[in-house]
Amino acid sequence: MEVVGAALPDIRAVVDAYTKKDVFNMDETGLCWHLQADNLMATHQLEGRNINKERITLVICANSDSSQKISLTIIGKHLNPRCFKGINRDTLGARYHANAKAWMTQNVFRLWLLDFDRRMQGRQVLLLLDNCLGHIPLEEFAEMNVVFRNTRIFYLPPT
């Protein structure tokens, strides 16, 4: 908490330079879609079954006043899951990526960030990100000669 408290004035100074509609936050969350309920609504736990930890990762992004929500990005294990058979992925309303562990990787993050910057064309926005191994540091973008024309990226301090 001390690190966050010390960084709070810097964060506030950066965020205050933008209107609420131009401040975005992106984060990932895991969804264990096959996990059985074992508390709350379940009356009893099913005995003799292994816990199925199959998961997907959802990438969620919206602006501060929630007037703009970026379409979901879903990261799964399989490149062509059976549930997409016969479905045009362009009509899903979400982007789908795949890797062996269904985690955010630097490659998926780079693709997401380039698409985000393209969507913000004609605006100057601030994107708040947490420090995670899947997020590429700004220095590496500079080494790759990637320039964001519409997005300023601000990494929150590690906690």
150's tokens = 């519409």
Total of domains in the chain: 1
The pLDDT tens digits along the chain (159 residues) read: 787 788 889 999 999 999 999 999 999 999 887 766 655 555 555 566 666 678 899 999 999 999 999 999 999 999 888 888 888 888 888 999 999 999 999 999 999 999 999 999 999 999 999 988 888 888 888 888 888 999 999 998 876
Enumerate the β-bridge partners of residue 31.
56
Our measurement of the distance from residue 101's CA atom to the centroid of its chain's CA atoms, rounded to an integer in Å, reads 15
Domain hosting residue 78, numbered range: 2-155
pTM of structure: 0.83
Q: What are phi and psi of 32, to 5 degrees?
A: -85, 85
- With contact defined as beta carbons under 8 Å apart, do 48 and 35 qualify? no
22's tokens = 């131009």
As a whole number of Å, the end-to-end CA separation of the chain is 7
137's tokens = 């540091």
